[in-house]
Structure 1
């Protein structure tokens, strides 16, 4: 099973993003544009994992998620991978807000994955939602610049999902498990 762990933006935020993206889609038909309902904030990509490992992953990831509070986030601006937009393959929307805590959550989940015997990336975490991909490096600078003004409403992420990705399959994404971020303690 091809798995990743992610946070989903609310549908209202997905619609706000789409308002910015849809005019650009017609200008760049060669790109593979992510459907609004498929946009997510990946915390850790696990890759191909045997189905027999899912219960352990569920347990370890769930325990890690429960250690972290909900996150105040918003989508603001854009970027490319690689950073040199003249030779980029991915156009993305930046995620701002509780970035430090979001990064701690991502790194905690990476640790849980490694403790489950899954080798995951050691690259620095860049919070983003993928908007479009190209099979070959191309100049995405103009599209990135047109999305500089992208800004969504703020939202609170309260849950994290373990998701199965099916390349070419329908549905494309299937939720395997959902975990709640720890509620914040209230004064009282």
Structure 2
């Protein structure tokens, strides 16, 4: 099964972005991702066998609990090459990066081979689907550059299965971002 670990911004955090995207309307060669699929990926785990998932869950729970809640907001826009349009994530990026690193360490400890790449928090808004789309993404990013959403506090991460045949996401586990205990 195809899995990833993510944070899901609440509806109020997505509303301003959704309104801005709706105003842009249909763009030839661009496929908009529906707001119901918008998330901040912490780690893409890839295709995993069922027998790997059960022992992985406690490791992911520990990783999530080790960081605590994270205050974030959606902000600005950009592109990955000429194929992906995204909105960025602002706020407590140090804690968010620590959470992503903890999730990656937990996944590796569970036997998952993750790609080595810098963590760039974002929410994917659209993908180019044709020649016209790749040129349009840069213009769309410019139009969304001033986007600033409200702040929210992420209190849980999710282990999610992506059903590629239907485009549906299935939450397999809710991973609480428990505030660390004070020494004492």
**TM norm structure 1:** 0.90
Corresponding residue for residue 124 of structure 2: 130
Task: Say whether the 8 Å CA contact 1:162–1:176 is kept in structure 2.
Answer: yes
Task: Say whether the 8 Å CA contact 1:165–1:174 is kept in structure 2.
Answer: yes
2:62 and 2:20 map into 1 onto residues whose CA distance is: 37
Which of 153, 156, 171 matches 2:150?
Answer: 153
Corresponding residue for residue 18 of structure 2: 18
Residue segments in structure 1 that go unaligned for 5+ positions in a row: 83-87
Question: Which moves more between the two structures, 111-120 or 123-132?
Answer: 111-120
Corresponding residue for residue 40 of structure 1: 39
* Residue 44 to residue 153, structure 1, CA distance change in 2 (3 Å): same
2:180 and 2:105 map into 1 onto residues whose CA distance is: 23
1:48 and 1:21 map into 2 onto residues whose CA distance is: 31
Residue segments in structure 2 that go unaligned for 5+ positions in a row: none
**TM norm structure 2:** 0.92
Task: Say whether the 8 Å CA contact 2:6–2:158 is kept in structure 1.
Answer: yes
Task: Say whether the 8 Å CA contact 2:29–2:130 is kept in structure 1.
Answer: no
Task: Say whether the 8 Å CA contact 2:30–2:130 is kept in structure 1.
Answer: no
Return the offset for 1:136: 5.2
1:9 and 1:108 map into 2 onto residues whose CA distance is: 20
Corresponding residue for residue 183 of structure 1: 179
- Give CA-to-partner distance per residue, 1:23-65, whole Å, 9 cap, x none: 2232x14212110111000000000000111111111111111
Corresponding residue for residue 85 of structure 1: none
Which of 170, 173, 183 matches 1:174?
Answer: 170
RMSD, aligned α-carbons: 1.5
